[in-house]
């Protein structure tokens, strides 16, 4: 225990409460967390790093209508390990921990460290978790894209025990996932890839050095043997209600001999699969153009990382 005098400070009478939350819960284990969530139904919400649910959006405090917050940040869900044929990532692992991990420096998983580095600022990344990034289900969630091309399996715990959800079936709509209200995302499993795989992530912002969500973001992976592509993954963000895999573009690459021409064609095909909207960050037309550019660059970079 840290040294220091013990002081007691009374709350000042004029101090107002910022958020109208009825109760904050700190469950001692996962079972209790699920119990609390089940007991309060949609009046309860999980809080991990809090960097999505605490900030106001357009002046509105999002958590004012949530009566019960269930803090899962002390349930031992912060871990990264490579065992057997998977990498296991606790849902409570912070973005900075992922960015600093040597596990993701090499070719096959490089997209993860790229995405962690492009997420917000280091002050937010010290709190923000990968689980929160996925469960918030923003169309531009940065970590969703590398995990999509890496075919991650998400493990959710609920009243009936655990279930596995392939990440492709996880995102259902803007801020809407396959999780039930009483479920907690506990783990992300990444199947180990062959050493001949390379992956990368790219993000375009309005201002490349500023904190901002993406105008468009993409992740790609390539598994190649002597310039022949055995499998390809292309995931697109910020250009549809959910982050998704551009399957048509992927199938153009699978089995093909990799060349500048085929990569360019696949990138254009990926842009064709995007359904972007106009918003404060960009127009739909610009997003489409930029998808083709980013996918091309990312594929080139994934190719360089193959076998690294």
Ligand X SMILES: Cc1cc2nc3c(=O)[nH]c(=O)nc-3n(C[C@H](O)[C@H](O)[C@H](O)COP(=O)(O)OP(=O)(O)OC[C@H]3O[C@@H](n4cnc5c(N)ncnc54)[C@H](O)[C@@H]3O)c2cc1C
Contact partner at residue 215 from other proteins, ligand X, none, CB < 5 to 8 Å by partner kind: none
Looking at beta carbons only, is 79 or 173 nearer to other proteins?
79
Spatial distance between the Cα atoms of 79 and 89, rounded to a whole number of angstroms: 6
Spatial distance between the Cα atoms of 130 and 209, rounded to a whole number of angstroms: 22
Contact partner at residue 213 from other proteins, ligand X, none, CB < 5 to 8 Å by partner kind: ligand X
Which residue blocks in 28-75 are alpha helix, DSSP H?
30-40
Site size for ligand X (CB under 6 A) = 31
Return the residue of 34, 51, 115, 252 that touches other proteins, per CB under 8 A.
51
Q: Is 29 in the site for other proteins (CB under 8 A)?
A: no
Looking at beta carbons only, is 106 or 175 nearer to ligand X?
175
Q: Is 65 in the site for other proteins (CB under 8 A)?
A: no
Q: Is 89 in the site for ligand X (CB under 6 A)?
A: no
Q: Is 135 in the site for ligand X (CB under 6 A)?
A: yes
Looking at beta carbons only, is 50 or 272 nearer to ligand X?
50
Buried b (16+ CB within 10 A) or exposed e, 99-114: bebeebebbbbbbbbb
Contact partner at residue 141 from ligand X, other proteins, none, CB < 5 to 8 Å by partner kind: ligand X
Q: Is 84 in the site for other proteins (CB under 8 A)?
A: no
Spatial distance between the Cα atoms of 57 and 61, rounded to a whole number of angstroms: 7
Residue 25's φ and ψ, nearest 5 degrees, are -115, 135
Return the residue of 51, 197, 199, 282 that touches ligand X, per CB under 6 A.
51
Buried b (16+ CB within 10 A) or exposed e, 167-191: beebbeeeeebbbeebbbbbbbbbe
| φ/ψ bin of 255: left (φ > 0), alpha (ψ from -120 to 50), beta (otherwise) | left
Span 117-136, contacts to other proteins by CB under 8 A = 120-124, 126-127
CB 243 within 8 A of CB 144: yes
Residue with tokens 């499993």, as numbered in its chain: 189
CB 257 within 8 A of CB 284: no
CB of residue 291 vs other proteins: minimum separation in angstroms?
26
Structure tokens given for 271: 């842009």
Looking at beta carbons only, is 33 or 306 nearer to other proteins?
33
Span 91-120, contacts to other proteins by CB under 8 A = 120
CB 265 within 8 A of CB 178: no
Contact partner at residue 136 from other proteins, ligand X, none, CB < 5 to 8 Å by partner kind: ligand X
> What is the binding site for ligand X (CB under 6 A)?
45-53, 55, 72, 91, 95, 119-120, 124, 127-129, 131-133, 135-136, 141-142, 179, 184-185, 211, 213
> What is the binding site for other proteins (CB under 8 A)?
2-12, 14-15, 17-24, 26, 47, 50-51, 54-56, 69, 71, 73, 120-124, 126-127, 209-211
């Amino acid at each position: 225990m840290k040294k220091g005098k013990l002081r007691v400070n009374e709350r000042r009478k004029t101090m107002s409460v910022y958020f109208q939350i009825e109760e904050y819960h700190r469950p001692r284990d996962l079972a209790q967390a699920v119990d609390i969530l089940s007991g309060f139904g949609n009046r309860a919400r999980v809080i991990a790093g809090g960097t999505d649910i605490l900030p106001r959006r357009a002046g509105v405090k999002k958590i004012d209508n949530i009566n019960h917050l269930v803090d899962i940040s002390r349930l031992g869900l912060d871990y990264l390990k490579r065992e057997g044929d998977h990498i296991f990532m606790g849902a409570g692992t912070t973005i900075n921990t992922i960015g600093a991990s040597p596990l993701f420096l090499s070719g096959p998983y490089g997209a993860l460290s790229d995405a962690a580095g492009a997420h917000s600022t280091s002050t937010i990344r010290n709190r923000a978790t990968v689980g929160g990034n996925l469960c918030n289900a923003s169309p531009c969630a940065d970590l969703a894209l590398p995990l999509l091309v890496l075919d991650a399996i998400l493990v959710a715990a609920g009243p009936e025990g655990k279930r596995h959800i392939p990440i492709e079936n996880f995102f259902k709509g803007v801020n809407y996932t396959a999780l039930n209200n009483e479920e907690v995302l506990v783990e992300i499993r990444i199947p180990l890839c062959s050493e001949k795989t390379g992956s990368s992530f790219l993000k375009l912002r309005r201002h490349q050095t500023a904190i901002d969500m993406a105008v468009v973001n993409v992740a790609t992976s390539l598994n190649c043997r002597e310039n022949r592509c055995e499998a390809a993954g292309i995931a697109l963000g910020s250009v549809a209600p959910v982050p998704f895999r551009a399957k048509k573009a992927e199938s153009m690459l699978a089995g093909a001999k990799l060349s500048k021409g085929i990569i360019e064609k696949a990138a254009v095909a990926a842009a064709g699969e995007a359904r972007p909207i106009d918003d404060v960050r960009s127009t739909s037309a610009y997003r489409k153009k930029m998808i083709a550019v980013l996918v091309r660059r990312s594929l080139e970079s994934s190719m360089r990382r193959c076998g690294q």
